[in-house]
Structure 1
Amino acid sequence: MIRKATPADAEQIAPLLLTIWKDMELPILEADSEEAILATLQEGIAVPDYRYGYNRMHVFEEKGEIAGVVAGYPGEDEPIIDEPWQVLAKRNKLNYTFPVFTEKETFPGEWYLDSIVTDSRFRGKGIGTQLLEALPEIARSEGEKLIGLSCDKANPKAKKLYQRQGFVATSEIVLSGHLYDHMQKRI
């Protein structure tokens, strides 16, 4: 079942988000322990305006467990979504108190799919596809008519999944030193 995330989901969501951060090879991973990063991410999920605030996420729940999560926001929110992280990082005494994300990811007029991840125990069951299929309704509920996302060029399997869902590559961008296809889907 897909539903809006709640602050109570933070303990299960944070490790899933950390999986993505590891794939992106973010610099924070060299500066702080996974334990400290996870604790800060969990706290951040309770902050509504944060990039990964519960109100910006939907989860796929199966038998009381979070099997997958999707996080996104209207592109116009991008300038403010990471401000809470710096406060949380300082409060939790992280060494890396800089913004975790510095590059502009969104394009004008789009709802941006920031993150999508399935727990490794639930992969291969179509959960990622179901989360992707829910995106048009999520984006429309926020007044958007265009969905954007960034797909790592090193992940052709993901690109094929996005293409099957109607996304087309519109440009290339670099995020954390990795080359991505920026893809969009009109809804």
Structure 2
Amino acid sequence: MELKIRKARKEDAQATVPLIMEAIGDISMQMTGETEERAITKEFVHLFSRTDNRHSYLHTYVAEMEGKVAGALVFYTSEQAVTLDANLEKYLSNKKGTSIKIDRETLPGEWYIDTVVVDPTYRGHGIGTKLLTHAEQLVKNASGGKLSLNVETEKEAAIRLYNRLGFVTVCPWTIIGEPFHHMVKTVDVD
């Protein structure tokens, strides 16, 4: 089966949003201001179609296999995160009528893997690794730098994968009150 990684398009929302929601779990409530799954999904589809927030199609890559979305990578710089999250905070605050604060997920100067996820149907084909390698190549193409991600402390298999790919834990992190490891890989230009 041939795998193709490409920039996401607005029309990828229906296939991509449920994957992102699965990957980020309860964080999806914070990112949408909703608590019911149908409302979260609807709001995520709306945010994916916009251009001004971290879950926009503009910051998403899809892994396509057999003409279907098999996985997704949400990826941006820490500098972009500041603006993207400020936009999302403003949008959610206006929507809810109360001040909303999005937890910071990256350190200054990093390229950030917000989400990497593979559809259960396509797991076991190395798609997650290929998406992570794609992110690394994007950093290389931009003169190198630090590539980072956060992983829940109990996701031991994911931590082993990230370690195998050269990521090291640099500090503990907290997102919506939950413990994470902040992992970084330095990407040099060849």
| Coarse TM-score class (shorter-chain normalised) | 0.7 to 0.9
Check if 1:171 corresponds to 2:171: yes
User: Aligned residue for 2:82?
Assistant: 79
Check if 1:49 corresponds to 2:70: no
User: Aligned residue for 1:148?
Assistant: 148
> What displacement does 1:102 show?
2.1
Query: In 1, distance between residues paired with 2:25 and 2:98?
Result: 18
Query: In 2, distance between residues paired with 1:90 and 1:168?
Result: 35
Match of 2:11 among 5, 8, 22: 8
User: Aligned residue for 1:40?
Assistant: 43
Matches within 5 A, 1:109-124: 109-124=109-124
- DSSP 3-state at the match of 1:60: strand
Check if 1:70 corresponds to 2:73: yes
Q: How many residues align?
A: 184
Q: Identify the range of structure 1 (139-148 vs 166-175) with the bigger mean alpha-carbon deviation.
A: 139-148
Note the aligned Cα RMSD (angstroms).
2.6
TM-score by length of 1: 0.86
- DSSP 3-state at the match of 1:139: helix
Query: In 1, distance between residues paired with 2:11 and 2:98?
Result: 25
Query: In 1, distance between residues paired with 2:168 and 2:127?
Result: 21
Query: In 1, distance between residues paired with 2:40 and 2:98?
Result: 11
Query: In 2, distance between residues paired with 1:149 and 1:28?
Result: 17
- DSSP 3-state at the match of 1:79: helix
CA contact (8 A) 2:52 2:88 kept: no
> What displacement does 1:46 show?
1.9
Query: In 2, distance between residues paired with 1:25 and 1:8?
Result: 20
> What displacement does 1:88 show?
6.0
TM-score by length of 2: 0.84
> What displacement does 1:139 show?
2.5
> What displacement does 1:98 show?
6.0
Q: Runs of 5+ in structure 2 lacking a partner? A: none
- State, as a whole percentage, how many aligned pairs show the same letter: 30
